[in-house]
Structure 1
Amino acid sequence: MRPELTKAELIQGPAELPISAEEIRTHLWTIYPEKTTDEYLELLIKAATSHVETVTWRKLVSQKWRLYLDRWPVGGIVLPFGSVVSVEMVKWLDGDGVDHTLVSGSDYLPAVVGPEPMVMPLGSSWPSGTLFDVDPIRVEFTAGFGSKDKVPEDLRQAIQLLAAHWYEVREAVVVGTTVRKVPFAVDALIGPWKVRRW
């Protein structure tokens, strides 16, 4: 049974985008005007990346997150966002507000159970006793596939398609053109990568 998720907080964003402005420029070679700046292309890439991450409920390029829980689960702590590179810290506040740090390898172990990354207690259960009232359990972890080169090609291609579509079609409705549904191609690419949401 999943514990109630109070919030997940981004601590450190990705160091790079899943694709570069140069890759988008190559993708747009038939319509790309030389005056378009890298900054504008990167805005499109960021928006497309955000869309892919939101729909798949994954993080692509590695980024550090802190997960807050209001109680210990039965079994492992399920980590959101799909692939997890590492678990840096598990801490909890007792009822008196005293902070405790669990030790990886003796108190807990990162694991993958089925399709989901988890933090599992190495003993029979998590610590006992009264927990602090607000956000008592904190887990810091790095989510994502690693560097941009490790992001699956399906997801990188979906980002390119979306960014190129938004580059070429900048209005909500374009009159006098043939209807093309780019999102269908994007859905086909990202569909297999969707993970279960909280």
Structure 2
Amino acid sequence: MIVTERTQIPDAALPRDAFKAHLRLGRGFGTATLQDDLLSGFLRASLAAIETRTGKVLIARDFVMTLTRWRDASGERLPLAPVTEVTALVRVAPDGSEELQDQMQYHLDQDAQAPRLCPTSAGLPQIAKGGHMRVEFTAGLAPDFDSLPADLFQAVMMLAAHYYEHRDDTGLHRGCMPFGVTSLIERHRIHRLALGGRS
């Protein structure tokens, strides 16, 4: 299984002004936009880290999943959450030819923790040996940063500020995330069962 992000958040949609205010950076000077690219990078890194830690996509965008076989033809669990829409299901033959599947053959089970692509009848469409299925879908908690829950918005700002303030510190261990950030995102985490316990 391969999951690819089809659309990215444009720079204009990043809350740079709010981030500058959070950092208490000076305003009204000729150099006010000098760090914009740097700040955008920290915001994107913070967003990616929090999405990875929570298991949820924060800002809505489009994704593509390709797989050579269903793990469960009675209902395939999608790797991201929350999924708001499955936009297309395309069967790709070994020779590369494509067949768009009828939307009446499947539906989305919009579970906030574990969304699934489910068949409307006996099973999901068959995948030919040597071919694959392409699932196109949209996932995300909010359409933009301003629409995020307040705790997640604050977590993005705090982690981006942490990255900014420690940008020259090469001694930070892998996965370093301030306690305040982990506290804010804890209720949004997807807890998966593994080996009889939570992970």
Place the TM-score, normalised by the shorter chain, in its bin.
0.7 to 0.9
Question: What's 1:192 paired with?
Answer: 187
SS at match of 1:42: helix
Instruction: Please say if residues 55 and 194 of structure 1, whose CA atoms lie closer than 8 Å, have aligned partners that are also in contact.
Output: yes
Match of 1:23 in 2: 18
Matches for 1:4-43 after TM superposition, within 5 Å: 6-15=1-10, 20-29=15-24, 32-34=25-27, 35=31, 37-43=35-41
Q: For residues 65 and 189 of structure 1, do their structure 2 counterparts lie closer, same or farther at Cα, with a shift above 3 Å needed? A: same
The structure whose RCO (Cα within 8 Å, separation 6+) is larger is 1
Are 2:133 and 1:137 aligned? yes
The aligned counterpart of 1:3 is none
Q: Structure 2: which 5+ runs fail to align? A: 193-199
Find the counterpart in structure 1 of residue 105 from structure 2: 107
After superposition, the CA RMSD in angstroms is 2.7
TM superposition score normalised by structure 2: 0.77
**Mapping 1:1-198, distance limit 5 Å:** 6-15=1-10, 20-29=15-24, 32-34=25-27, 35=31, 37-72=35-70, 73-94=72-93, 98-104=97-103, 106-113=104-111, 115-128=113-126, 131-134=128-131, 136-148=132-144, 149-172=146-169, 183-195=178-190
The code of the aligned residue for 1:75 comes to S
Q: Deviations over 1:64-112 (max 9, x none)?
A: 11111221323212112211121110122356765332222x1111112
Deviation at 1:43, TM superposition (A): 1.8
User: 1:19–1:156: 8 Å Cα contact kept in structure 2?
Assistant: no
Task: Give structure 1 stretches of 5+ with no counterpart.
Answer: 1-5, 175-180
Percent identity, please.
Answer: 27
Once the two structures are superposed, residues 115-144 of structure 1 have per-residue CA deviations (whole angstroms, 9 ceiling, x without a partner) of 31111100111234x61325x111000111
Asked if the contact 2:83/2:110 (under 8 Å) is kept, the reply is no
3-state SS of paired residue (1:12)? coil
| DSSP-derived class of the 2:6 partner | strand
